[in-house]
Structure 1
Amino acid sequence: MFEIRIICDPDDRDRVSKTLADAFTTGPVREHPTRDGKRTCLYLTADHRPEPESWPTPDEAYALAPSIISEIGWTARTAADKPFGARLGREFSLRKAAVLDRIALADEAAGIHGDAAEVATKAAQRLMEVDDAAVICDPRFYIRREYARWAKHQ
């Protein structure tokens, strides 16, 4: 942790504070006028943000996954076993989004330009809504991370 002191025009206070908060984890800003009274002196404690979490590659995320055919079968059976309109739960949403992502990845690798990537992204976005995820990222990265975490504990 370290202390930052900034001397700036009073009109720049909010912009400077926001810029520092975007770059560091900051404490409350303490503000004092400079001796000449024309500028403002800002003091705040700051710390480096933790390194961003790395996203697993598709190979890492799906290393423990059953075959795509097996997962399609599981999602179909699970959906068929529930009454129409019943909530299927997080595991269903996760595994469905993951299998759709894997299909999209296979299409991309084969140079097939269909709608698989769009469908996979929408399924991943639905899981993010279920999780109430406050993450800003590519939804397909999110699904890979969540699937890797889930598979590791199965």
Structure 2
Amino acid sequence: MFEIRIICDPDDTNRVTTALSGAFATGAVRTYPTRDGERTRLYVTADHRPEPGPWPTPEEAYALAPSMVREIGWTAQTAADKPFGESLGREYWLRKAALLDRIALRDEEDGLSSDAAEVATEAARRLIAYDRDGEGDYHGAPYWPEHPATDADPRGYVRQEYAHWAENH
């Protein structure tokens, strides 16, 4: 455990504390004005985040998933039922990304050459962007949307989030 002291403009306080909490496991932020009163001093107790474990396997992630045909129907119906311009929501993006991941896995398993893996990766990136923008209520354990491993394996992030969602839905 260690302590971090930062001196910054008051307008940057939220941005700085958000970045710190993304990089470290942080405690409460203590805020004080500087002697000249023009800047802010931030004191944060922090620790390194524990090393994350491996991504869930597809079998673990999709153990409770409905059939792919049923998921195709659900995603199509959900998209069709939403009024134009209204957000589809995180559940839609998560289930769509998981469905496309499962299709890509099936193609790989069957030895088929297709663009399914690329499409699944793009859908995973859409979910990650949704979660990074603060719109999603992601689980984030052990990998949160901003984690470097998430960028390296977007489909792993989908499996992590889907496994959590399926267990708690």
| Alignment TM-score, normalising by the size of structure 2 | 0.62
Which 5+ residue runs of structure 2 have no aligned equivalent?
2-24, 26-46, 133-144
Give the structure 2 partner of residue 91 of structure 1.
Answer: 91
Q: 1:49 to 1:150 in 2, by over 3 A?
A: closer
Once the two structures are TM-superposed, the CA of residue 135 in structure 1 deviates from its matched residue by 1.8
CA distance in 1, matches of 2:48, 2:77: 48
CA distance in 1, matches of 2:56, 2:86: 32
Note the 1:12-31 alignment, pairs <5 A.
Answer: none
Give the structure 1 partner of residue 158 of structure 2.
Answer: 143
- AA in 2 matched with 1:78: T
User: SS of 1:66's equivalent?
Assistant: coil
Once the two structures are TM-superposed, the CA of residue 51 in structure 1 deviates from its matched residue by 2.7
Give the structure 2 partner of residue 108 of structure 1.
Answer: 108
Give the structure 2 partner of residue 134 of structure 1.
Answer: 146
User: SS of 1:146's equivalent?
Assistant: helix
- AA in 1 matched with 2:83: P
CA distance in 2, matches of 1:108, 1:71: 19
- Higher Cα Rg: structure 1 or 2? 1
Give the structure 1 partner of residue 141 of structure 2.
Answer: none
**1:62 equivalent in alignment to 2:83:** no
Once the two structures are TM-superposed, the CA of residue 123 in structure 1 deviates from its matched residue by 0.2
Q: 1:125 to 1:48 in 2, by over 3 A?
A: closer
CA distance in 1, matches of 2:86, 2:103: 26
- AA in 1 matched with 2:160: R
User: SS of 2:159's equivalent?
Assistant: helix
Which 5+ residue runs of structure 1 have no aligned equivalent?
2-24, 26-46
Aligned CA-pair RMSD: 2.0
Report sequence identity in percent: 66
Q: 1:49 to 1:109 in 2, by over 3 A?
A: same
Once the two structures are TM-superposed, the CA of residue 84 in structure 1 deviates from its matched residue by 2.2
| Alignment TM-score, normalising by the size of structure 1 | 0.67
CA distance in 2, matches of 1:48, 1:86: 39
Give the structure 2 partner of residue 31 of structure 1.
Answer: none
Moved over 6 A (4+): none
User: SS of 2:84's equivalent?
Assistant: coil
Q: 1:48 to 1:89 in 2, by over 3 A?
A: closer
- AA in 1 matched with 2:163: A
Give the structure 2 partner of residue 118 of structure 1.
Answer: 118
